[in-house]
Structure 1
Amino acid sequence: MINEPNEQATYKSSIFALIWSIAMPGLGHLYLGNKVIGILFMAYTGIFMIFSELNNAIFYAFAGDFQKANSIFAENPSIFFPAVYSFAIWHAYNYDVIVRKGRSSEYKLTGFFFGLLIGGVPGSSQKFLGTYIFTGLVVGIIAGILFHLVEKLIVTQLKKS
């Protein structure tokens, strides 16, 4: 009786993984037992926070000094951290739904968020559409749509075989 698996102890919720990832990228993965990806997301977030001065910009924005907050982001491509943040959230959810629970029919937008990350970060280092933020968003969304289409193609091909 001692060696019987405890179903409550091994159950992990996709929603809780998503919520933990909202709190800090990587925590949702650690909650699900995916330690390598969880630690990588947390390390990236920590390094990003140190070198991007995001905390200073948030402080100045909340203090009402928008000009100073904007000057931090004026030529700082790290403004596209939301792409990494949103990808970590959705990846934690999808990891649980697809890998742990085997419900590939519930696959949700991982390709889009990955494309947003891959396109948005380098895109936000350019200013060919007027501003860094707008260029990053446009390039990120285009890459996100392309990655989502590739993802759908791969999932369709896997279902056929």
Structure 2
Amino acid sequence: MRLRTEYKSPYAAAVWSMVLPGFGQFYNKDYIIGFVLIGFEFLINLYSNLNLALVYSFTGDFDRAHSVIDYRWGMFYPSLYAFAIWQAFNAAKSHNAKALGSTMKQRSYYTGFFIGLVLGMDLGLFWHDFAFFNQFKVLSILNLPVFSGLSFGLLLGILGNYLEKTFYRKRKAAKALI
């Protein structure tokens, strides 16, 4: 009897993890890590009041968003979020390579982007109330607890991806030729 292997879309796995950390792992049938990530997600949301801060931010009540969020717990969320997306994407890629019987070298994808995303989101949460942002009206969007994390996260994520592609991968390829 021939076993049928199922293709796992890395992008679908990443999107499922964007919806809720752990869902991408369920998509990949990595149930243990999926339950662990969902457990951490609920724990961090419970203690940080992140969902309330999101609701207040998206409804425009930024002062209330600042007052309800506990940044000590909220600083854990970017790491959990980015790891869940990164792991789901790379696990799907690995699953597909194994299903095809590929002998290609194991590697991870978009590591620079996700490291930059975590650092940027943490910086955005940490510096959300920086007085410098209030002096310039153009930068006032960066004084918002949720939007500052997203803005810095995307910016540093793109920078991390660029640095990984230009320096790390090229240097590694040059070493392989020697």
Q: TM-score band, normalised by the shorter chain?
A: 0.5 to 0.7
Q: What corresponds to 1:114 in structure 2?
A: 115
Question: Is there any run of 5+ residues in structure 2 with no aligned partner, and where?
Answer: 98-103, 134-142
- Which whole-Å CA distance do the structure 2 matches of 1:156 and 1:45 have between them? 37
SS at match of 1:101: helix
Question: What's 1:30 paired with?
Answer: 26
Which of 45, 61, 78 does residue 49 from structure 1 map onto?
A: 45
Alignment pair present for 1:160 and 2:176: yes
TM-score by length of structure 1 reads: 0.63
Query: What letter matches 1:93 in structure 2?
Result: F
Separation (CA, whole Å) in 2 of partners of 1:80 and 1:155: 32
- Aligned length in residues: 153
Alpha-carbon distance, 1:63 to partner? 4.8
Q: Provide the residue aligned with 2:17 in structure 1.
A: 21
Larger RCO: 1 or 2 (CA < 8 Å, sep 6+): 2
Residue 3 of structure 2: which of 2, 5, 13 is its match? 5
C-alpha contact (below 8 Å) 1:80/1:124 kept by paired residues:
no
Structure 1: 5+ residue runs without aligned partners? none
Residue from 137, 141, 145 that aligns with 2:160? 145
CA offsets per residue over residues 98-135 of structure 1, 9 Å max, x none? x2233669953223313542575378446778578669
* Distance in 1 between residues matched to 2:80 and 2:116, nearest whole Å: 10
Identity of aligned residues (%): 28
- Structure 1 window deviating more from structure 2 (39-48 vs 128-137): it is 128-137
Question: Residue 49 and residue 155 in structure 1: after superposition, are their counterparts in 2 closer, same or farther (change >3 A)?
Answer: farther
1:120-135 pair list within 5 angstroms: 120-121=121-122, 124-125=125-126, 130=132
Given the two structures, how large is their TM-score scaled by the length of structure 2? 0.58
